[in-house]
Structure 1
Amino acid sequence: LLILSGWSWIVGILVLRRSWRVIGLANLLGAWTGFGMALIAGASGNTVLAMLVITVLLLSAVTWLTQRDADAIAVD
Structure 2
Amino acid sequence: MNKITRIWHGTTKAKLADEYLKYLEKTGLSGYRKMDGNVSTKILRRFDGYICHFLTETEWKSYKNIKSFTGDDFEKA
| TM-score bracket for the superposition, by shorter chain length | 0.3 to 0.5
| Structure holding more strand per residue | 2
| Structure holding more helix per residue | 1
Query: Structure 1 length normalisation: TM-score?
Result: 0.37
Query: Structure 2 length normalisation: TM-score?
Result: 0.36
